[in-house]
Amino acid sequence: MTTHDGDTGTELVRLNENISKIEELSKRLVTALSHYKAVNPALQGPGQDLYMKAAVGYWAEWVQNPTKILEHQVEYWGKSLQHYMEAQQALTQGLTGGTEEVERPKDKRFANPMWQSHPYFNYVKQQYLLNSEAISKAVDDVVDLDDVDRKRLRYFSQQIVDLMAPTNFLATNPDALERAVETEGQSLVDGLENLVRDLEANDGRLLVTLADEKAFEVGGNIATSPGKVVFRNHMFELVQYSPTTDTVHEIPLLIFPPWINRFYILDLKEKNSMIKWAVDQGYTVFVVSWINPDASYRDVKLDDYITDGYLTAINEVRDICNVKQVNAVGYCIAGTTLSLTMALLKKRGETPIKSATLFTTLTDFSDQGEFTVFLGDDFVDGIEEEAMAEGYLNSFFMSRTFSFLRSNDLIYGPAINRYMKGEAPPAFDLLFWNGDSTNLPGAMAIQYLRDLCQKNKFVDGGMEVCGEVLNIKDVTVPICAVACETDHIAAWKASFNGVRKMGSRSKTFILSQSGHIAGIVNPPSKGKYGHYTHSKIAMEPDDWRAEAEFTPGSWWPRWDEWLANRSGKQIPAREEGDSNHPVLADAPGTYVTMQSTG
């Protein structure tokens, strides 16, 4: 009896503590939300014209083909009624199983056995799936939409479907409810605290924390390859990495990472660092670490990235290494801009780049992949208004856009774990990097979206940059392009088509398995993700893929062979910098840790 009283007393103390904590968190929640800055509606969803087109198209199908529409409606009503009756019978009779399952692909959101065994949860799940199917058919029934509008309508409709999943609500999520019971409600208190922290960290805007930020330190336990900053200007820091071999190739390797994220995706850990691996193969490796721009960079364009970024970095590396040429690498948008740079150099009759490697790079934007849904004038007009008002495009919008391309994995799933289950985010270096994004200069962001993504000027008619009209055919440097099979940011077929249109006589195309990051950061030691190669690329992408040879494992050794043949003789390993390039800081430098403003 005494023990029971003691337990009751402990429970009361905990209950009072949690009530007090909830009151405190509620106040913090109100304060955090009061800091919320209204976002331009154009950045929150598609324009009204898309909905109007959809409504008109659906009504037109009603008029032209009412039988098909009625069949779909009757089918949905019939299934829903049957499902309700079966669920009611299961509930009244106390059956342990749910209603009959409709044959569908596995959905990890419904992995909990209660979604099948418990009549209530089974009913909720099955009805959600029926509703999802009905919405999908309704979208397919809309007529007189072009391919882009249909793709956008399907995408945004699916976003609503994903948002309304029963797993996203506490009352219909058995995992969260079980967790609340197990912890006597502590998980809900912890979840509320996690929610408040995320709102406070983003000025009242909700952006789910994906990784434990305290678990990582840039330059501490990630981005640790030894090196020195040997040059710095208003656009970038130039990092030269310390050699690990007695001799190195004469021609240095200069890597341009995308400025949408930090460069250390190529140097997360020693075991998967592409930078360390390249150094170990005997290359003198330089990496550009871009500035994280603020409002003072509002007028910076791609022209400035090329002049004060690419061309400056190339010249500084040539001076340090006392060579006439460098081998260059461009990743994603940095590969696109490297291609523009090579076209500019061709126009000027200059040849400082011996070869170029392009990672997941788009140069032909006629197929924009999954980003098509965000490249209509409704969104781009909103981005332009935001960027011009603030001087830059805040990293928040880029992070949110990338997350919504995989909303169940990068938004709803983490939100459930963090806010409903009260779990701490995982100590996952890749997710930490993913959340460590940067701002984009206002003028550059609009120039990229308008001239490249929307108008595809580099391929169609030429793009004016740095006083020259540049065309993809002006890229004549030997090219090695690496694309990734399941890349949702830079579709491999679009990347392939861009390389085909380049003027280079020497073109090598490698198709890696996996996606935008895992397909590139795939060290040989992992033994994962094979790759496809073919000696010819003068064919359609599907034909190339059908004829290509598959090789298990990483593409890095194949690239090393290609690169070594273009990197000159062996010379004694170089020290970092020289008398004209004194050491300014240890790697990874200072720009890489500059946080976003706003």
- Active site positions, annotated: 332
Instruction: Report the candidate in 458, 438, 437, 434 with the shortest Cα–Cα distance to residue 447.
Output: 458
Return the bridge partners of 510, or none. 482, 533
CA 395 – CA 202 distance, rounded (Å): 11
CA 594 – CA 355 distance, rounded (Å): 32
DSSP 115-164: HHHSHHHHHHHHHHHHHHHHHHHHHHH--S--HHHHHHHHHHHHHHHHHT
- In the structure encoding, which two tokens stand for residue 73, read together? 């409606």
CA 527 – CA 477 distance, rounded (Å): 32
Instruction: Report the candidate in 465, 482, 463 with the shortest Cα–Cα distance to residue 473.
Output: 463
DSSP 581: B
The DSSP H or E segment spanning 480 is strand 479-484
| Pair 322, 253: CB distance under 8 Å | no
| Pair 592, 330: CB distance under 8 Å | no
Q: Angle at CA 328, nearest 5°, toward 323 and 331? A: 160
Q: Number of C-alpha atoms within 13 angstroms, CB side, residue 267?
A: 30
CA 152 – CA 48 distance, rounded (Å): 12
Q: Is 286 helix (H, G, I), strand (E, B) or coil?
A: strand
Instruction: Kindly list the distances between the CA atom of residue 1 and the CA atoms of 4, 11, 359, 400, in Å, as whole numbers in the listed order.
Output: 5, 15, 70, 55
DSSP 31: H
Phi–psi pair at 301, nearest 5 degrees = -120, 180
Instruction: Report the candidate in 121, 68, 127, 45 with the shortest Cα–Cα distance to residue 376.
Output: 45
Q: Is 40 helix (H, G, I), strand (E, B) or coil?
A: coil
DSSP 177-218: HHHHHHTTTHHHHHHHHHHHHHHHHTTT------S-GGG--B
Q: Identify residue 203 by its one-letter amino acid code.
A: D
| Pair 261, 252: CB distance under 8 Å | no
Instruction: Kindly list the distances between the CA atom of residue 586 and the CA atoms of 55, 233, 259, 282, 582, in Å, as whole numbers in the listed order.
Output: 59, 16, 20, 21, 11
The DSSP H or E segment spanning 507 is strand 507-512
| For the chain, the helix, strand and coil percentages under 3-state DSSP, each to the nearest 5 | 50, 15, 35
DSSP 218-254: BTTTBS---EEEEEE-SSEEEEEEPP-SSEEESS-EE
Q: Is 465 helix (H, G, I), strand (E, B) or coil?
A: strand
Maximum separation of any 2 CA atoms in the chain, in Å = 93
- In the structure encoding, which two tokens stand for residue 133, read together? 């199917």
| Pair 502, 375: CB distance under 8 Å | no
Return the bridge partners of 480, or none. 357, 508
